[in-house]
Structure 1
Amino acid sequence: MNQVCSYKYCTSKTVLELGYICSACQIMRYCSQKCKDNDWTLSHKNNCRPYQPKSKTELNDSASTLKSIRRSAEDFEIIIKDNKMELGKGSYGCVKLVKDRQNGQMYAMKVMNKKQIFEYCSVENLKREIKIQRRLQHPHITKLFHYFEDKENVFLILELAENGSLFSYIRKRRRLPENEAFVYFFQTCLGIDYLHKKNIIHRDLKPENLLLDKSGNIKVCDFGWSAETTQNGVRRTFCGTLDYMAPEMLTNKPYSFSLDIWCLGILLYELIHGFAPFKGRTENEKCNNIVKMATIDYDPTLSTEAKQLIQGILKYNPAERLSMNQIFDHVWMKKHYKSYGIDLRSYMYKEEKQNDVSSRSISPQNEDIMSRSFVKNTNQNSNGDLKTLSKSSNYPIQQNVNNNSKSTACSNYNQEDDFKTRVSRVSQRQQMAQGLREIQGPQQRQEELGFMDKVFSAFGCLSRDKQQSQSHNY
């Protein structure tokens, strides 16, 4: 049987054997080395896709990456939990609990409507989110296993965080004692430090984008506004969530990794106090309070070390803010390292091996624990502090330190639908910039006082107290 050379301009009339194969894709076959070289130069080099052999590892979804076999929505069964078909909602779609029909693994499936994506001009955000998250392998960052699409939607298959968002947990608890706040703060810092070492700025760090897994450990999520840069590079895109926006963002100045560090300071304050530090009756007033660095009120029971750490981070000048290394080395952090028996050196820049699922385990997986608990199987020392449960783990065991003999365990915890949330979607940057110029002006007419309220409302960037009607982000 005669065969046809893959080089469409081949002049050979009859070919009995195609012995020259493209070494990259192993698909294109040629009658001679000359045809192979000519085809590569003219077209094939622009279309060649390297051959990806299917291994046993790729068939195991728990170790899969985006290079694994192609998936579709039909491969996943939607699970209804607590009479709800959704775990949460976001700006462009929803998140559902699903089970892989092939191996029974449970995942979170983020479903984004293409019409809404195109309407808000966020296609590039979606591409960036997928590109960035597929690179990330860290115990405190949500893992992306697959992505695919159909005619109406784009689907992301993500690691499941059974205990919802840190935002909902803070709202349920009102506020957290310093020793518990440390665990969430420290784990978030580990995730952000990893991103920065990968030259990635998150740009929308907030409790809504920090999830809690089955053991109550932090998982940084939502990379829709994340950006890649260099250690010396800067960005200018206006994005984020008002309560967590740094002064340089609100004043349209270039920014870099210190933008995320500012957010860490806001996060630590909110963990301990239950709300963000900069307040305002209107979005306009709140913006001005951030830009003008209005005086922050601290709880009188807050330790001096915690206050100093927050103050060291929340500096107007990004160059004056503490670096990640300085945060890790702060006296408040060291005090809690000692309490939890943490050796900091063993935590820094821990990137898991691609196929070693067990390395992602931060704390012992107790099958009988369906909700978070800080007090199970713990041993107290003479000072009432709890030691870590396992010395074999490289990551902190989630637990609580005795605080006036009151347990902070939260049994049967579920993410509540009535919690208000902050939405970070921002579009029409020119109009947003015009609004920012308004709040930066020396004079404002009384009738313009609500200008930023209207602007932020129109573009979905309201603070929590103004977002009663908005849905939840997963």
Structure 2
Amino acid sequence: MIQQFQVQGAKDKYIIYNKVLGKGAYGVVLLAKSLNLGSYHAAKIISKKSLSLSDISNLRNEINIQSQLNHPNIVSMVEAFEDNEYLYMLLEYCNGGCLFQKTQLNGPLREEKALYYFVQIVKAVQYLHTKSVLHRDIKLSNLLLTSDDQIKVADFTWSTSLQGGYVNPQICGTLEYMPPEVISNKVQNEKLDVWSLGIVLYEILHNSFPIVGSLFFKFGISEECKQLLKQMLENDPNRRPTTSEILYSPCIRRFNRHKDLSINIIACSKNLQDIQGINQKSPQMASPLGSPLRTGFGTPQMNDLGSPLRNRQGSSIGSPFNLGLGSPLGSPLGSPMNSPLANFNKRISTDPIRLSAQKLV
């Protein structure tokens, strides 16, 4: 079994390892390493033989959008290129897992910790909306974590650009996070992402999906947070807040005041110890709002590609919907030869083709 191979991109040469990081609508995501810089990346690999015309259109759109994004809470694209058989997208590598895994392993988060992540997510989505981009598939498995506990929004497969403030109705994304206007195929705008943000916040607080119209809140959720959730989960998109209004809501303003106070207390404590000459380390906190450990609710169910499966409805929906019955690289997932590298010989791709919106096959 081949453990690694090399590909030549337009910017660098990369070693692709037989380590699966996830699975997208079109292909598998493997760990890669830059030969020149020594940095690690996530390599999204798509077999050209499996692409339909609609797939090609979606990939062009994904590459065009993600190559123009630059935000600290959004996964960046390093480069995209192709050889005779495969397309490669080299993406920023996040080694902290995703929010789905975190909540499955540790249980629901305390409000302070949940808002610590949520503010980062909203800022990323606010940036997208200022660029007239809708994500359309915001969910816990698309919210990655870095080693320093920062959020990175990933997977722009279903992203699209707003035209005149709206997009053509399309049923796509993930069912549990879809707003009513998407399910009913009605007029859609940036408020569809706001609905998904509401589902995300509720889910990380409760480790379950809300029953819209009859919201249950666990003990300890603040009234400000409850009010914000109700506003984001309004059936009428016109009554939902914008991302800017979310960030200026009483819930987030209270969180920011609490966060600043916690940081100041820690700083003052450290300075006091320095003055007194105490040879003792200050308390180390990954975040001033760190959440306590809870009894785990069990480890997430894993599929053959190592990505968490929520249930049969937890997969993305749309024209390039992958039923997970076969590997994007050509070997059946249930086969003994299910390695993502099983179809690769010891080869090195030469003469790379820079991948653009007009060159995909």
Shorter-chain TM-score: what band? Answer: 0.7 to 0.9
SS of equivalent to 2:41: strand
- Amino acid aligned to 1:273: H
| 1:338 maps to 2:250 | no
Identity of aligned residues (%): 33
| 1:160 maps to 2:93 | yes
Measured at CA, do residues 87 and 415 of structure 1 come closer, stay the same or move farther in structure 2, by a change above 3 Å? farther
Tell me how far apart the structure 2 counterparts of residues 166 and 192 of structure 1 sit (CA, whole Å). Answer: 16
Which residue is equivalent to 1:281?
none
TM-score (norm 2): 0.73
SS of equivalent to 1:326: helix
- Amino acid aligned to 1:172: L
SS of equivalent to 2:155: coil
**1:309-331: CA deviations, max 9, x gaps?**
10011111110111222211111
Check conservation: 2:158, 2:172, Cα contact below 8 A: yes
Greater than 4 Å deviation, 4+ residue runs:
413-416, 456-460
Tell me how far apart the structure 1 counterparts of residues 60 and 290 of structure 2 sit (CA, whole Å). Answer: 45
- Amino acid aligned to 1:419: P
User: Which protein has greater RCO, CA pairs closer than 8 Å, 6+ apart?
Assistant: 2
From 313, 316, 339, give the equivalent of 2:232: 313
Shift of 1:112: 1.4
Shift of 1:86: 1.3
Which residue is equivalent to 2:309?
420
Larger radius of gyration: 1
Q: How does 1:31-42 map to 2 (within 5 A)?
A: none
From 275, 284, 309, give the equivalent of 2:208: 275
Which residue is equivalent to 1:78?
16
Check conservation: 1:163, 1:414, Cα contact below 8 A: no
| 1:106 maps to 2:40 | yes
Shift of 1:116: 2.6
Which protein has the bigger strand share?
Answer: 2
Measured at CA, do residues 459 and 407 of structure 1 come closer, stay the same or move farther in structure 2, by a change above 3 Å? closer
**1:194-239: CA deviations, max 9, x gaps?**
0000000111111111111121111111111101114533331211
- Report which stretch shifted further, 207-216 or 135-144: 207-216
Which residue is equivalent to 2:118?
185
**1:222-279: CA deviations, max 9, x gaps?**
111101114533331211110000000111101000000111111110110012214x
Q: How does 1:4-83 map to 2 (within 5 A)?
A: 70-71=10-11, 75-79=13-17
Measured at CA, do residues 380 and 133 of structure 1 come closer, stay the same or move farther in structure 2, by a change above 3 Å? same
SS of equivalent to 2:51: helix
Which residue is equivalent to 2:71?
138
Which residue is equivalent to 1:329?
248
Shift of 1:90: 2.4
Instruction: Give ranges in structure 1 of 5+ residues lacking alignment.
Output: 1-68, 279-292, 343-377, 383-396, 429-455, 461-468
Tell me how far apart the structure 2 counterparts of residues 109 and 311 of structure 1 sit (CA, whole Å). Answer: 38
- Amino acid aligned to 1:130: I
- Amino acid aligned to 1:328: L
Check conservation: 2:105, 2:300, Cα contact below 8 A: no
Aligned length: 293
Measured at CA, do residues 380 and 276 of structure 1 come closer, stay the same or move farther in structure 2, by a change above 3 Å? farther
Measured at CA, do residues 319 and 414 of structure 1 come closer, stay the same or move farther in structure 2, by a change above 3 Å? closer
Which residue is equivalent to 2:5?
none
- Amino acid aligned to 1:107: H
SS of equivalent to 1:104: coil
TM-score (norm 1): 0.57
**1:47-71: CA deviations, max 9, x gaps?**
xxxxxxxxxxxxxxxxxxxxxx814
| 1:122 maps to 2:41 | no
